[in-house]
Amino acid sequence: MENPFANPFFANPAFANPWQTHESRLVYDNPWIRVREDQVTRPDGAPGIYGVVHFKSIAVGVLPLDDEGCTYLVGQYRYVLDLYSWEIPEGGCPAGEEPLAAAARELLEETGLRARHYELLGRAHLSNSVSDEEALYYLATGLTQGSAEPEGTEQLQVRRVPFAEALAMVQRGEITDALSVLAIQQYALRHR
Amino acid sequence: MENPFANPFFANPAFANPWQTHESRLVYDNPWIRVREDQVTRPDGAPGIYGVVHFKSIAVGVLPLDDEGCTYLVGQYRYVLDLYSWEIPEGGCPAGEEPLAAAARELLEETGLRARHYELLGRAHLSNSVSDEEALYYLATGLTQGSAEPEGTEQLQVRRVPFAEALAMVQRGEITDALSVLAIQQYALRHR
């Protein structure tokens, strides 16, 4: 932003940060997340704590769409939920990688697909009460099929389904991964 | 589920949990989240760790819609993101509270609105690579206006806008909170 004062969020105290941070203590760190606890003064002036989960990667999701109107869903067991989940191809974009390159890499690793065209469908903050995780989701078209190369943490199944069926899976509650639902709903809205 | 074997996810080893958990260590706990690190064997047989963020509450979001086709957006400063965010009314449903009751409570606290009718719009897992956070989002209609009673952690502004404007804010990237986007997209899809 060139001139912050041109933005009412900066000039108007109603949009200013009402929190004060006093101390910050690292409580956990691994290759994917870092958790800290801050001593804060809350918006109402009372003392409090805030546990913040920092994500080291941006989440990137890809909705691939082939010339016959089919998309590709990836099935995997989600460890933290203890359930099997059908999702769009997605993964993490670590610091230093371009999100679009990460999206293309994840699409290739998980499905073997390469895309000639990418279009940003949207950007979201997935869980903003606790984490700073940001997600970008793309439409990928102009697909060609190669070989999938999943990571060691992934044991995947891939299904090619008409886009209308993926949308129906969302509506039936069979796809619950937020990033997948965001992308599928957004494409459906743009191309209704 | 009455008969688990009627579900192919149970009968088919392709859908079974490919992870093994060996030890689990609590690394952080506060009133909202609990973080643990598990020693695991990954799907490819290699040893590894998994940091899991457990949410003590379900996230509930409410898309209120009045008789004139307007919805209500709540603006607040999001501490973890360090940015001002416009969202649907939302909050946490702790264990023991009915999600619908929590949704009605959050709607009242944040906007002063009561709703005669609720309809489930969807259910999502917000960040399933790291956290088990589940979200439920509702449409609320038959609205009457009372007095808002925000929590001490909240310093809120409320805007009444036509639903079409809320959808346009999603499309322009001005609403990025995933739960809000999920609910607004879903309502737009159902009532296009």
Residue B137 bridge partners (DSSP): B61, B122
B48, B81, B182 ranked by CB distance to A182: nearest: B182
Establish how many alpha carbons lie within 13 A of residue A180's alpha carbon, considering only the half-sphere containing its beta carbon.
30
List CB contacts of B69: < 8 A, sequence separation 6 or more. Answer: B162, B163, B164
pLDDT at A10 over 70: no
Q: Which of A17, A35, A55 is the last residue of a domain?
A: A55
Establish how many alpha carbons lie within 13 A of residue A171's alpha carbon, considering only the half-sphere containing its beta carbon.
12
Predicted local distance difference test score (pLDDT) of residue B147: 80
Subunit contact B178:A178, Cβ cutoff 8 A: yes
DSSP H helical segments within chain A, as ranges? 8-11, 99-111, 163-171, 178-190
A108 and A174 assigned to the same domain: yes
Which two tokens mark A17?
């940060």
A32 and A82 assigned to the same domain: no
Which among B106, B109, B111 is positioned nearest to B66, based on CA atoms?
Answer: B111
B17 and B67 assigned to the same domain: no
Amino acid code (one letter) for A52: V
| Cα four-point dihedral sign A161, A166, B174, A16 | negative
Q: Nearest-CA residue of chain A relative to B136?
A: A176
What's the pLDDT band for A13 if we cut at 50, 70, 90? confident
- Read off the pLDDT of each residue in A94-116 and give the average, rounded to a whole number: 97
Q: Is the pTM of this model over 0.90?
A: yes
Quote the number of domains for chain B.
Answer: 2
A88 and A51 assigned to the same domain: no
A66 and A48 assigned to the same domain: no
B25 and B102 assigned to the same domain: no
Which residues of chain A does B9 touch, with a Cβ-Cβ cutoff of 8 Å?
A: 84
Residues B12-67 have pLDDT tens digits of 777 889 999 999 999 999 999 999 999 999 999 999 999 999 999 999 999 999 99
Q: Nearest-CA residue of chain A relative to B91?
A: A129
A38 and A117 assigned to the same domain: no
pLDDT at A14 over 90: no
A11 and A64 assigned to the same domain: no
Least Cα separation, residue B41 to chain A (angstroms): 9
Residue A90 bridge partners (DSSP): A61
Q: Residue B182 sits in which domain range?
A: 57-190
SS3 A66: coil
B47 and B61 assigned to the same domain: no
Q: In this structure, what CATH number is given to the domain that contains residue A111?
A: 3.90.79.10
B138 and B170 assigned to the same domain: yes
Neighbours of B13 (CB within 10 A): 7
A109 and A137 assigned to the same domain: yes
From first to last of its 192 residues, what are the pLDDT tens digits of chain B?
Answer: 344 444 445 557 778 899 999 999 999 999 999 999 999 999 999 999 999 999 999 999 999 999 999 999 999 999 999 999 999 999 999 999 999 999 999 999 999 999 999 999 999 999 999 999 999 999 999 999 988 777 777 788 999 999 999 999 999 999 999 999 999 999 999 987
Which two tokens mark A73?
């869903």
B15, B79, B170 ranked by CB distance to A84: nearest: B15
Yes or no: say if B78 and A50 are a contact pair by the CB < 8 Å rule: no
List CB contacts of B43: < 8 A, sequence separation 6 or more. Answer: A77, A152, A153, A154, A155, B18, B19
B100 and B125 assigned to the same domain: yes
